[in-house]
Structure 1
Amino acid sequence: MGDWLASVMATFVTAPLLLFFLVYFGARLVGKRKRAAFYAAVNAATVFFIAAVYFLLAVLFEKSYFVPLLLFLLGLHAMIALGYWRKKADFRFGAVFRLFWRASFLIFASLYAGLILYGMAMRVAISL
């Protein structure tokens, strides 16, 4: 059982887009609502995009970037919380965390795509 779970988790960390599409289409089959299915897929895939970016950085640059990524996430959450508080003059943790989670998805999905392209270009350049 543990080997199977480890294999599935490794697959989703390696290819978080696969998880995104599986959750999206699964939620579409169950719920029939496109927006709810999309948000369910975003919520499920964000943590795997973060992990994938961490491992891509570690492989491409041969250095651990755990602390800078953690500081980036904390800083992003603080900036979103401060902006929300200044705009609304109120602080609702659920709304702030939802904004943070969706912004993290956009940032880390973009970083994932960029690092994949960079890694492929580097491997092709090295092989020439």
Structure 2
Amino acid sequence: MGDWLAPVLATFVTLPLLLFLLVYFGVRLFGGRKRAAFYAAVNVATAFFIAAVYFLLTVLFGKSYFIHLLLFLLGLHAAIALGYWRKKGDFRLAEVFRLFWRASFLIFASLYAGLLAYGMVARVAANL
């Protein structure tokens, strides 16, 4: 059973956009609305975008940025929690985490696209 799990996970870490699209169209196929399908795809793909950015940073720059990414995520969560508390005067962990997860998706999907483009340009320029 484990013979197929590692290649599938490796594919989704390498191509998290593929996972996003598969989840989106899968939820839409089974009767989900567009908004519900989009949020389901965001929720599933965020962890894979974070992993993809970590591995792209490791491959492109030759060292691990795990602690940096972890501190960034903790700081982002703290900033969102503080902003939510200041705006609402209340603290609801579920809502704060949902905002954090969606912000992480936006940030790491953008970072993934930027690092992918940078990596392609850097590899082509190095081979000229």
Q: Distance in 2 between matches of 1:126 and 1:76?
A: 35
Q: Could you say which residue in structure 2 is the equivalent of 1:82? A: 82
Q: How many residues align?
A: 128
- 1:64-83 matches, within 5 Å, as 64-83=64-83
TM-score normalised according to structure 1 size: 0.99
| Letter matched to residue 4 of structure 1 | W
* Equivalent residue number for residue 126 of structure 1: 126
Root-mean-square deviation (CA, aligned residues, Å) is 0.5
Structure 2, unaligned stretches of length 5 or more?
Answer: none
Partner of 1:20: 20
Structure 1 residue 48: Cα displacement: 0.1
What's the counterpart of residue 107 of structure 2?
107
Which amino acid letter does the alignment assign opposite residue 101 of structure 2?
A: W
Q: Percent identity?
A: 81
TM-score of the aligned structures, taking structure 2 as reference length: 0.99
Unaligned runs of 5+ in 1: none
Distance of 2:2 and 2:70 partners within structure 1? 28
> Which runs of structure 1 show a deviation greater than 2 angstroms over 4 or more consecutive aligned residues?
none
Q: Matched residues in 2 for 1:100 and 1:31: separation?
A: 27
